[in-house]
Amino acid sequence: MSLPPTAVRSIPVSDPGDLFTRLPREHALAWVRDGEGVVGWGELARLDISGLDSLTVAEQWWDEQCSSMVVDDPVDLPGSGPVCFGSVAFDRRTAESAFVIPRVVLGRRNGQSWMTTFGSDRELPAPVRPAGPDAVAYADGALGQAEWCAAVGAAVKRIRAGELDKVVLARDLLAWTEPAVDPRFVLQRLARRYPDCWTFAVDGLLGSTPELLVSRRGRHVTSLVLAGTVRRGRAAEDDRLVADLVSSTKDQEEHRYSVRSVADGLSAYCRELDVPTTPDVLRLATVTHLATAVTGLLAEDTTVLQLVEALHPPAAVCGTPTDLALDVIPKLERMDRGRYAGPVGWMDASGDGEWGIALRCAAVDGQRVRLFAGCGIVSGSDPEAELAECHAKLVTMRDALEGS
């Protein structure tokens, strides 16, 4: 059964300023880095789906939706024309993924701004800067600190016994806000403090991720792999911490597994692939990461969602070997991650798009907010040090919730 035709129109608009200030409170969608990207609102259509074939089904659903669209796009920039936002479950066997086609998209790229409407014309909303909550209270999620350290210790024993090479363990932290937090407040604070990260919002999951799973523009693909982390310090201390990170055998080992995971996933689709042998250092406001940018040229017209399926879950958020780590994780974490550590981003009708990994994020449900952070565990991991790394990563969302 064919869908009724939908008129999709992208038109240039004057600079709207901070894209996040134009979002409504409900059903906000976003993918923005350093002021550029796309935000959206409303729902023309959505797909909620689970199962190992969920991304294949989502690809077919998106193709069907696009086939009914009558597109007028004189802007012709990445993110103009038809766009679908998505947030994919970490474990597609147990949790749902969400794909949303908005009614309105507002974008900025290379200094040019545009608005895309699906079905009818709409006026640009007035800018809004909402206030934060008056109070925030926290409680442990699935595991307390001591229990989580014990889980890390159990993982290290399995690794040293040769069961697997690496496993990523996460923990959740619950927060209650008074009154219910306005997601736009959180997004605006994240975008200001972490301009080098991709600030995102899809179906109640919002955050600011430093890790790009994959982007596609035509035949060009890029992935930014992060693994190996240390907290930030002041001046001389920060330089010492970074030097320790670079020289750390444990962190370099963790990083190598993650880079190899992405390179292996992309190699099947690329006729050219550049994989640097030495990682760079990425300094963010609260932590520093080892970082490697993997770039390639596609051999065929593979869509960005097909690449997402090929890469997820990468070793950076799961482990090595992947299948073994995926089975071990819920047993040790004792929780369902939902869409935390899953792919999040957008795609267009031509198969281009940008997808990150949902890190430094929280699931917002009224007054209840569920925060997440995780660490890569290898044979040299120390439970207390991994807990400290988790605390450092949780600072991103705690600051965003608590700021005034």
Tell me the pLDDT of the chain averaged across its residues.
Answer: 94
pLDDT score of 350 more than 70: yes
**Which range among 2-16, 48-62, 98-112, 295-309 shows the weakest confidence by mean pLDDT?**
2-16
Closest of 99, 103, 7, 114 to residue 47, by C-alpha: 99
* Reported pTM: 0.95
Measured distance CA(31)–CA(184) in Å, rounded: 13
pLDDT, tens digit, 9 for 90 and up, residues 365-376: 999 999 999 999
Spans of all domains in the chain: 6-402
Cis peptide before 179 (omega within 30 of 0): yes
Instruction: Tell me the CATH class for 6-402.
Output: alpha beta
At 377, is the pLDDT very low, low, confident or very high (cuts 50, 70, 90)? very high
State how far Cα 296 lies from the chain centre: 21
Cα separation of 168 and 300, whole Å? Answer: 32
Separation CA 307–CA 160 (nearest Å): 32
- Predicted pLDDT at 227: 83
Query: What is the distance between the alpha carbons of residues 214 and 313, in angstroms, rounded to a whole number?
Result: 12
Residues 222-242: what's their mean pLDDT? 86
Helix (H, G, I), strand (E, B) or coil at 219: coil
Rg (CA), the chain: 21
Structure confidence by residue, pLDDT tens digits, 270-319: 999 999 999 999 888 888 888 999 999 999 999 999 999 999 999 889 99
Give 383's contacts (C-beta < 8 A, 6+ positions apart): 149, 150, 152, 153, 156
More confident residue, 199 or 316: 199
State the CB neighbour count (10 A cutoff) for residue 72: 12
**Tens-digit pLDDT profile for residues 109-153:** 999 999 999 988 788 889 999 999 999 999 999 999 999 999 999
Among 30-39, 62-71, 75-84, 286-295, where is mean pLDDT lowest?
286-295
Residue 51 has pLDDT above 90, yes or no: yes
211 is catalytic: yes
**pLDDT value, residue 251:** 86
Single out the catalytic residue among 59, 166, 354, 389: 166
Which one is catalytic: 59, 157, 211, 393?
Answer: 211
Cβ 359 vs Cβ 194: under 8 Å: no
* pLDDT tens-digit series, residues 238-270: 889 888 889 899 889 888 888 998 999 999 999
According to the model, what pLDDT value does residue 76 have?
96
Least confident residue range of 81-90, 114-123, 175-184, 343-352: 114-123
pLDDT of residue 1 exceeding 60: no
Question: Can you point out the beta strands (E) in 260-402?
Answer: 270-274, 280-283, 287-298, 319-320, 343-348, 353-357, 361-365, 368-377
**Among 23-32, 41-50, 126-135, 244-253, which is the least confidently predicted range?**
244-253
Active site residue 250: no
Mean pLDDT over residues 86-100, rounded? 97
Residues 187-210, mean pLDDT to the nearest whole number: 96
